[in-house]
Structure 1
Amino acid sequence: MSSNLILASSSPRRQELLQQINIPFTIRKQNADESVIQTGDPYEKVKQLALLKGRNVQIVSEKEIILSADTVVSFQNRIFEKPADEEEAFKMLSTMSGEMHEVYTGVMFRTQKTERVFVEKTSVEFWPLSDEEIKQYIATGDPFDKAGAYGIQSEGAVLVKGITGDYYNVVGLPVSRVVRELEQI
């Protein structure tokens, strides 16, 4: 039986990553109220958000597999989501300057018969950044739709000294693990 993958996300990065590895999918947007997840633990937060989003999308056929995901950046157990404005982006980036932080992505698969969820963690180290470098990056507009106020796959790449773990997890979807999980479903 062939399956139809349903992406429960409007994230352009997740769509691009699935297209990059030639996995066909259909987008079915969810409208879950993410504010109901109140935990400050980054691992639990992305796990619960992935579950919430995935359960918020209706399965209409036994061939469908719902894929939902959520990504946060964590520095010293403080969660950095998408910045609201330039000031918040500056605070996040200057806080992580010269330091190591973690990126967590929770991923959930759901069929009519089963649910699977996992969390992938990647450690990212930033170069020491001057205020001017941070301001120049913020001026690009790149930080505003990204957890932690940067995109490793775009202009934010120049901030990153190194990573330990899955690069694609930092972009927003750990594709190699996603493929392996899909094979088991």
Structure 2
Amino acid sequence: MKNYDIILASNSQRRKELLKYIFEDFKIISSNIDERELEQKFLSKTFKDNKSKFSELCDILSFEKCKDVSLKHKDSLIISADTIVYDDKKLFGKPLDYNDAKSILEYLSGKEHIVQTSVTIYFKGQFHTFSEKSFVTFYDLDSTQKELIEDYIKSENPFDKVGGYGIQDKGNLLIKSIKGDYFNIVGLPISKLNRKLIEIM
């Protein structure tokens, strides 16, 4: 019989729903780190290319969230995650307003971008971080795509989603194809997470 709590270090409703595939019961305790401050400090460094910079940033944010929660819950199993959207030039956060959402979604149209989720597991004093990448291609920015983007921004909530869209809602109407784990794009690569947990525990 286990003698530890399971904690999801995230307030994301999507991650909460996905983790239920693995655990029936767990607590929600979000971290208190300043993600934007960490992000700005990290991105000011020089890297050989943007993709490796963005990928490493995702790992760091996931780790720092888990580390923060572990300080007060050393005897728990803690799972944290961070999801980012990027290509070889830009990192896309949550849109600030309507115009920002429109700009991001129009930029992504006709191109392939990467959705990466980095996950950190804390268990028995050890941290384990891994990441999963999925590749998403939007339809070209034709008149139909422009109308769909307008409708999406008005009818859904792109402002709480990195990259300005959710594949689990009407955002999927903008997508031509994906390569990789669907649930990773939603926010948690549950199959890979489950296998990592089996290894660790």
- Any idea what the Cα deviations from partners look like across 1:66-92, whole Å, max 9, x if unmatched? 111000100223110111111111111
Task: Quote the residue 1:126 is aligned against.
Answer: 138
- Alignment partner of 1:100 is 2:112: yes
Aligned-residue RMSD, C-alpha = 1.6
CA distance in 1, matches of 2:23, 2:65: 23
- Alignment partner of 1:44 is 2:46: no
- Alignment partner of 1:18 is 2:31: no
- Alignment partner of 1:114 is 2:132: no
Q: Per the alignment, in what secondary structure is the counterpart of residue 83 of structure 2?
A: strand
Shift of 1:61: 5.3
- Equivalent in 152, 165, 168 of residue 150 of structure 1: 165
Q: Per the alignment, in what secondary structure is the counterpart of residue 9 of structure 1?
A: coil
CA distance in 2, matches of 1:176, 1:82: 26
Shift of 1:59: 4.5
Is there any run of 5+ residues in structure 2 with no aligned partner, and where? Answer: 44-52
CA distance in 2, matches of 1:60, 1:18: 19
- Alignment partner of 1:139 is 2:154: yes
Shift of 1:184: 1.3
Higher helix share: 2
TM-score, normalisation: structure 1: 0.93
CA distance in 2, matches of 1:23, 1:105: 22
Q: Per the alignment, in what secondary structure is the counterpart of residue 37 of structure 1?
A: helix
Task: Quote the residue 2:82 is aligned against.
Answer: 70
Shift of 1:60: 3.1
Q: Per the alignment, in what secondary structure is the counterpart of residue 132 of structure 1?
A: helix
TM-score, normalisation: structure 2: 0.86
- Alignment partner of 1:183 is 2:184: no
- Residue 142 of structure 1 contacts residue 155 of structure 1 at CA under 8 Å; is this kept in 2? no
- Any idea what the Cα deviations from partners look like across 1:49-75, whole Å, max 9, x if unmatched? 00110111035353x111110001002
State the number of aligned residues.
184
Quickly say closer, same or farther: Cα 1:23–1:44, change in 2 above 3 A. farther
